């Protein structure tokens, strides 16, 4: 039995055609409709070590920028194909971030913060994030807090952190991993309404 397309499906496919013709509102509407799926997929992508370094919302924003910039490369015809393509862009972006952080970790480098233009709203957001980070750090156990301070602020190698904390290097690495995970969880808890 052949499916008969309804008006709603035709309208959705018209959005893709309009976006392809350069209508920014059509592309914006497509992205807004897709936002819950992108957010859910970002939650799945940002797990483990990556969760301490990247928020799902940041991954969604980065993928959305890639989708807008690369929309000319999209060859599909309808909204379902657009959704599949956009989710693939998000997954690839998450994979690239995971690989980048893994390379930086193996090389012993701290990831470089993204450069941005200062605006009053960004300054306010940065102050809020800083306050949130400090509250989450205060909630950590003192040895975890000290391990993070030695690694992130003093940029000490694991062997030196272990020496200063009176632990083996393996134990210091595990402590840092727990500290990062607990910090990410603490931030997540504080961000919830």
- Are 15 and 76 members of one domain? yes
| Number of domains present in the structure of the chain | 2
Residue 28 resides in a domain? yes
Residue 3 resides in a domain? no
- Are 63 and 25 members of one domain? yes
Q: Compare 76 and 141 and report the one with higher pLDDT.
A: 141
Mean pLDDT (whole number) for 6-28:
74
Predicted confidence (pLDDT) per residue in 169-191, tens digit: 999 999 988 988 888 888 888 87
Predicted confidence (pLDDT) per residue in 62-96, tens digit: 888 888 888 888 888 788 999 999 999 999 888 88
**CATH at 77:** 1.10.1740.10
**Which of 77, 106, 135 lies at the terminal end of a domain, its last residue?**
106
pLDDT at 8 over 50: no
Q: Write out the chain in H/E/C secondary structure.
A: CCCCCCHHHHHHHHHHHHHHCCCHHHHHHHHHHHHHHHHHHHHHHCCHHHHHCCCHHHHHHHHHHHHHHCHHHCCCCCHHHHHHHHHHHHHHHHHHHHHHHHHHHHHCCCCCCCCCCCCHHHHHHHHHHHHHHHHHHHHCCHHHHHHHHHHHHCCCCHHHHHHHHCCCHHHHHHHHHHHHHHHHHHHHHHHCC
**CATH at 132:** 1.10.10.10
Mean pLDDT (whole number) for 30-49:
88
- Are 18 and 90 members of one domain? yes
Mean pLDDT (whole number) for 98-117:
63
Predicted confidence (pLDDT) per residue in 109-135, tens digit: 655 544 444 556 666 777 788 788 888
pLDDT at 36: 92
128: containing domain: 121-191
**Which of 78, 106, 134 lies at the terminal end of a domain, its last residue?**
106
Residue 31 resides in a domain? yes
């Amino acid at each position: 039995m052949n499916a008969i397309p309804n008006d709603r499906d035709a309208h959705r496919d018209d959005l893709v055609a309009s976006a392809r013709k350069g209508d920014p509102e059509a592309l914006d509407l497509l992205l807004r409709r897709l936002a819950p799926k992108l957010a859910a997929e970002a939650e799945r992508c940002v797990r483990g070590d990556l969760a301490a370094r990247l928020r799902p919302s940041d991954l969604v924003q980065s993928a959305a920028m890639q989708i807008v910039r690369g929309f000319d490369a999209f060859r599909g015809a309808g909204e379902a194909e657009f959704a599949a393509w956009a989710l693939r862009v998000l997954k690839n972006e998450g994979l690239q971030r995971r690989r980048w952080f893994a390379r930086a970790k193996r090389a012993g480098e701290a990831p470089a913060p993204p450069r941005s233009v200062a605006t009053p709203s960004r300054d306010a957001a940065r102050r809020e994030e800083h306050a949130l980070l400090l509250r989450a750090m205060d909630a950590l156990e003192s040895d975890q807090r000290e391990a993070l301070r030695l690694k992130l602020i003093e940029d000490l190698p694991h062997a030196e952190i272990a020496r200063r904390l009176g632990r083996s290097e393996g134990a210091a690495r595990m402590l840092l991993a727990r500290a990062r995970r607990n910090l990410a969880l603490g931030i997540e808890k504080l961000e919830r309404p």
